[in-house]
Structure 1
Amino acid sequence: MRGGARNRPLEGVRILDFGWILSVPYAGGWLGSLGAEVIRVESNTRLELGRSGLGSGADGVAGPNRSAVWNCLSHSKRGVTLNIRDPKAQELVREIVAVSDVVMENFSTGVLDRLGLGYEDLRKVKPDIIVLSGSSMGTFGPDREATGFGPNVCSYAGQPSVTGYEGGRPQNLGGNWPDYLVGTMMVHSVLSALWHRRKTGEGQRIEAAMAEVVSSMLPEAFLDYTMNGRVAERIGNRDPDMAPHNVYRCAGEDQWVAIAVRSDEEWAKMCGIMGREELASDPRFSDVQARKRNEDELDEVVSEWTKGRSPMEVTQVLQGEGIAAGPIMDAVALLDDPHFRERGIIVEMEHTEVGTREVAGLPIRFSDIERPAYYSAPLLGEHNDAVVGGLLGHGDADVESLKESKAIH
């Protein structure tokens, strides 16, 4: 890898991105923002779901270049449209691979192999190529053909079994957090493979199974079962070792605060803050074991205090005494939050069609990188000429012929 400008530590790395929907596109955005040249491959024959089927267009106007989902996930990349079922387009893919370092994809298991573009095919074109494959369950094993989205993969991986209220049914977490978690791990795995290649000259295939990533986030459940023979139960927002530990209603509509008290000393402080010093010595609440036995009553006491105050007021007074607390923030509150804003997680990007828009940037900060190398998501097929004509060296007539035959499409 060659060193680049201060905000482009991955300059000189070229990545071919076949990502679909979330995990691989998210990983590509990370790598592109750190200076890698990421070439996003898509096709008019079947528009990527982020362009066509998730969310609405900017300003309520539909269009393949106006999707908020696409423009937020596919920033810092170049874009080409190749119909990879066409043999001519497949040859273009091989030409790009020959001058690239990494290929990333999360098609269903076996799709690229059947097109002659799998790892074994591509390493014949470039022996030290690194190929990352993302999937629901992995590309080998009895369930390798399984497909789906985050919620059903999380179910298989065990997450809902420990999520939900005591005595209630299993619950999935909201949103698509597994995709973003997998995408982040993909970034680290690609960087590790690039470092390995730098030391050995060898490429390799990387596999990222979403189910395994989710299961790896449940260490307590696995440890408790293997060591003690206990199966983890759902306990809502409570904790086995802390009390109070819950979310509590505050003043206002649907306003809540999360509180976690770690010790008897913190509980005594909280009793003073609430103006209920006598509760610290009350036999029902005097130590954590007693508080756990009487947790319903305990939560009622805390709720009675929080319901007349705002989430931020509760947070500030408890944090002032070193007690863990935080307001339950929704997207609107976060976007208006001064701390969130000052940290620079929201960045502005100038998009050719939709203008200046705010986009979520990388959730990390570098002391020597004031702003990563962000730029807006590509228009559909925006860089066809630059990649096929410029990078690969095809003449204008050849490029037009490939467009007419819909190999570039």
Structure 2
Amino acid sequence: MIKHESTASLALAGLRVLEIGSGAALAYAGKLFSDFGAEVIKVEDWEGDALRSFPPLLANSDREQQSALNAWLNTNKRSVTLGSNHVEEHAWLSRLAKTCDVVLDARALREGIDVLRRPVYGTRDAANTQNVPIEVCLTWFGETGPYSHYVGAPAVCRALAGAVYGSGAVEGPPHLPHDIQTGIVAGLAAFSSAISALLGESDGSRRYVLSIHELAFSVVEMEVGMVQDGRHPKARLGVNRFCTTHPGGIYKAREGWIGIFAHTGPQWAALCAAIGYPEHADDPRFESGPTRIRHADEIDAFLTPALLTRTATEWFEELAKVKFPAVLVPTMDELLVQSVHRERGAFVPVQSGTNQFEGVVVPFPLGDAGPLPGGAAPLKGADNPFYRSEDALAPRVRRACATEMKPPLRKIRVIDLTMGWAGPLAARTLADFGAEVIKVEGAQYPDWWRGTHYTDAFYKERLYEKNSNFALMNRNKLGITLDLTRQEGRAVLLELVKTADLVIENYSTEVLPKLGLDYTALTKVNERLVMVSMPAFGAGNDWSGTRAYGGTLEQASGLPHHTGFAQNPPSLTSYAYGDPVGGWNGGAAALLSLFVQARTGKGRHINLSQVECMLPMVAPFIIEQSVCGQTIPRQGNAHPVFAPHGVYQCAGSDEWVVLSITSDTQWQALVNLIEARQLSADVTLNQVEGRRLRKQEIDAQINRWSRQRSADRAMGELQQAGIAAGVVNPVWRVLDDPHLNEREFFKTIPRAYLGKYRATTPWFRETSAATEMVRPAPTLGEHNLEVFDRILGMTKEQQQALENCGITGTEATRKADRQ
């Protein structure tokens, strides 16, 4: 096993975590614990987790084959297996669970939600109240609602959540991603829930129940805001067509592929000049992103041949000079040699038996607190003897059940210097768990998600208060305004920082140093401060100044080379994928840093790379490249293990259903349901290997059946037969989803200027009811008086002086008007 220089200094050293169940979500949550030093005990039945069969396979020994992907997901863990005697094994497992600080429980994904009525550690009765671990339970659809007893799968949850329909060719079928991508998001959520509970453990043990369906929705949450504001095209626009702007896709260069995003007018003008068509910058058809997407074919007619005149590297270097968001779109072999990632230690050795290959590091660089630079995966059952010993089962944890539902982070104060989606989502995670998050904007420089078209109407009609995306991403926060370009504004910010536990920011890397507000400056007033920075490629390297959006991060990760069908170019998803992924990772990194701060009393600066946060999404392909020296071409909607699996057309225009057969029993149920007698009689199809070889024939039979019924009816009949299936919902229909609405995942609330809108509720639950929202997103400067008075003790005269000179304010002002 690869050793860390000082394991005692790792962030989670001394914690014991029980990981029980199966699937990538559970495994990744456990990996986040184990790679930061926790003692993670992975419990499997003797057949093992289905992930063990994911390619590529390693021949470790005569004893077992091991999936390289599964090995990466299980570095630095311990492995125990369940025996056949159910009564004795349950008693043993209950004793083991009571020695743990955290239980990560995914049994419901395989056994159904009824299993959650029987906690691993036993009942929550009076006899057990002093030995109760923190518990995080993963479910497909939650414990309540019409879908709660549905058979789930990552692709099914994603389809129902609106995170499939928008990607792919106009004529379909939409694109399905690799299952692990949904698992990474759910794993981050489980980890964040557990760390929040550990930060608030003085209140006692907590139990969180998560819905992977609702977590899958988080990657398209932006589009729900656009639907409500009337800005969504309500259509699938095609491969590499981004709904809010154009060009925003991937283009062939003379060598390699270049990813570009032109959102603003100056960016479009810079691109036109670079490709030799400066006259198009002033063409009224192309004046904004929404107008350019309507003329995308015309733009591509001159853009595509122009980009073929240089290599991708030449375009990247040329466009970087004018701060245009452009990146290389690397293949896996190219990604693995990029120095920007090598220098940060993004790729780490993974050992499985006698095999060693490269995987992806956990992307939270906490220095001496971790993560471990790689590690070894245990053989199945390798730690059975120890964890069945009396020494291992001796009681360790003396934690009572929480009796009051107080927010676990209620004693934490966060200064939020973020804009857009990724940074505000990271800060919102802390706010949802109860932290006091103070969002700082400038009246002259408001969050750009309030709007970027600075027309007269923007100011006179307060359009900056009427953007649903901003409202969705900034709930539960206080909002103040400070002009940080002026000394008086910076002085007030420093006074706030003195009182804070954490600062989170996602400015371009040069902004805070120019303002004299970098981490060094902030620690002069608060030496225990934690700061999380979220640039695209991290700070301190040759690409640190690269401008990026969520789609840019996806392009730079290389993921598009493994999305979609082989006949198309490398393909983006239809949403700004890198933003929610960056936000999830930023929130988790912030929580973990606060946990270390609470243990040590020391602060630290987390230099996050948002592209690096995308690399776990690409892990199957990075690992395949490392193990095999190459990757297989894009496989469309085929699954690496399960068959049949895909998107099938239903009756009606652009209606689709996803199904995923994960067992031979489900296969028999399917052929009976669709009355495919010739398939049922063929014994070679009773195992998945045979079904993969006959994919086209089987898919044709499923399509014949599905085209005769609506997507809703197809889902209902398949679920009734015990088959994981779900409608491919467009995001605008997700707002009317009966399951989400019965669970009150969406709530209609009022907000000043915006009126009533559909807000999301936090994605974790301590009871069957939705977690309440404390407050809607702030209007500009809404909490100036409260924050300056309560926290800084300013007099009304001092506050009025700041407003009079334009340092603060409650209305957006043009830069030229600020004096």
TM-score after normalising by structure 2:
0.47
CA distance in structure 2 between the partners assigned to 1:269 and 1:397 by the alignment = 75
Q: Which residue of 2 aligns with 1:45?
A: 444
| Residue identity opposite 2:446 in structure 1 | L
Q: Which moved more, 1:3-12 or 1:272-281?
A: 3-12
Q: Which residue of 1 aligns with 2:427?
A: 28
Is 1:137 equivalent to 2:537 in the alignment? yes
Deviation at 1:390, TM superposition (A): 3.4
CA deviations on 1:73-113 (whole Å, 9 max, x unpaired) are: 11111111111010110111100000111111000012111
Q: Which residue of 1 aligns with 2:416?
A: 17
Q: Which residue of 1 aligns with 2:314?
A: none
Contact 1:9–1:34, Cα closer than 8 Å, also in 2: yes
CA distance in structure 2 between the partners assigned to 1:196 and 1:190 by the alignment = 10
CA distance in structure 2 between the partners assigned to 1:340 and 1:229 by the alignment = 44
CA deviations on 1:256-275 (whole Å, 9 max, x unpaired) are: 00112234443332111111
Deviation at 1:322, TM superposition (A): 2.6
| Residue identity opposite 1:44 in structure 2 | A
Deviation at 1:345, TM superposition (A): 1.7
CA distance in structure 2 between the partners assigned to 1:402 and 1:153 by the alignment = 38
What secondary structure is seen at the aligned counterpart in 2 of 1:125?
A: coil
Deviation at 1:127, TM superposition (A): 0.3
Report 1:10-409 matches (<5 A).
10-53=409-452, 63-282=463-682, 287-367=687-767, 371-409=771-809
**Dislocated runs of 4+, deviation >6 Å:** 1-5
CA distance in structure 2 between the partners assigned to 1:194 and 1:289 by the alignment = 47
| Residue identity opposite 1:136 in structure 2 | A
Quickly say closer, same or farther: Cα 1:287–1:37, change in 2 above 3 A. Answer: closer
Deviation at 1:62, TM superposition (A): 5.6
CA distance in structure 1 between the partners assigned to 2:708 and 2:770 by the alignment = 42
Quickly say closer, same or farther: Cα 1:118–1:232, change in 2 above 3 A. Answer: farther
Q: Which moved more, 1:94-103 or 1:398-407?
A: 398-407
Deviation at 1:292, TM superposition (A): 2.8
Consecutive unaligned residues in structure 1, runs of 5 or more = none
Deviation at 1:304, TM superposition (A): 0.8
CA deviations on 1:332-372 (whole Å, 9 max, x unpaired) are: 33222221112332134332333443201222212398634
Q: Which moved more, 1:139-148 or 1:101-110?
A: 139-148
Q: Which moved more, 1:294-303 or 1:152-161?
A: 294-303
Q: Which moved more, 1:249-258 or 1:395-404?
A: 395-404
Q: How many residues align?
A: 404
Contact 1:32–1:374, Cα closer than 8 Å, also in 2: no
| Residue identity opposite 1:353 in structure 2 | Y
Q: Which moved more, 1:396-405 or 1:9-18?
A: 396-405
Quickly say closer, same or farther: Cα 1:181–1:270, change in 2 above 3 A. Answer: same
CA deviations on 1:282-306 (whole Å, 9 max, x unpaired) are: 4885654443333223222211110
Contact 2:762–2:773, Cα closer than 8 Å, also in 1: no
What secondary structure is seen at the aligned counterpart in 2 of 1:75?
A: coil
| Residue identity opposite 2:766 in structure 1 | F
CA distance in structure 2 between the partners assigned to 1:290 and 1:266 by the alignment = 15
What secondary structure is seen at the aligned counterpart in 2 of 1:296?
A: helix
Contact 1:80–1:380, Cα closer than 8 Å, also in 2: yes
CA deviations on 1:243-268 (whole Å, 9 max, x unpaired) are: 22210110112110011223444333
CA distance in structure 1 between the partners assigned to 2:800 and 2:441 by the alignment = 18
What secondary structure is seen at the aligned counterpart in 2 of 1:21?
A: coil
Deviation at 1:386, TM superposition (A): 2.0
What secondary structure is seen at the aligned counterpart in 1 of 2:765?
A: coil
CA distance in structure 1 between the partners assigned to 2:683 and 2:694 by the alignment = 10
Contact 1:225–1:232, Cα closer than 8 Å, also in 2: no
What secondary structure is seen at the aligned counterpart in 2 of 1:248?
A: strand
Quickly say closer, same or farther: Cα 1:49–1:229, change in 2 above 3 A. Answer: same
Contact 1:38–1:78, Cα closer than 8 Å, also in 2: yes
Contact 2:676–2:701, Cα closer than 8 Å, also in 1: no
Quickly say closer, same or farther: Cα 1:28–1:11, change in 2 above 3 A. Answer: same
CA distance in structure 2 between the partners assigned to 1:51 and 1:375 by the alignment = 18
Deviation at 1:242, TM superposition (A): 2.6
CA deviations on 1:15-74 (whole Å, 9 max, x unpaired) are: 1101110111112222222221111111121222111239xx9xxx76222211111111
CA distance in structure 1 between the partners assigned to 2:632 and 2:515 by the alignment = 44
Contact 1:279–1:286, Cα closer than 8 Å, also in 2: no
Quickly say closer, same or farther: Cα 1:27–1:66, change in 2 above 3 A. Answer: same
What secondary structure is seen at the aligned counterpart in 1 of 2:654?
A: coil
| Residue identity opposite 1:351 in structure 2 | R
CA deviations on 1:90-141 (whole Å, 9 max, x unpaired) are: 1111000001111110000121112111111101110001111111111122
Q: Which moved more, 1:273-282 or 1:100-109?
A: 273-282
Q: Which residue of 1 aligns with 2:44?
A: none
What secondary structure is seen at the aligned counterpart in 1 of 2:415?
A: strand
CA distance in structure 1 between the partners assigned to 2:689 and 2:414 by the alignment = 55
Contact 1:7–1:372, Cα closer than 8 Å, also in 2: no
What secondary structure is seen at the aligned counterpart in 1 of 2:631?
A: coil
Contact 2:475–2:773, Cα closer than 8 Å, also in 1: no
| Residue identity opposite 1:86 in structure 2 | R
Deviation at 1:227, TM superposition (A): 1.5
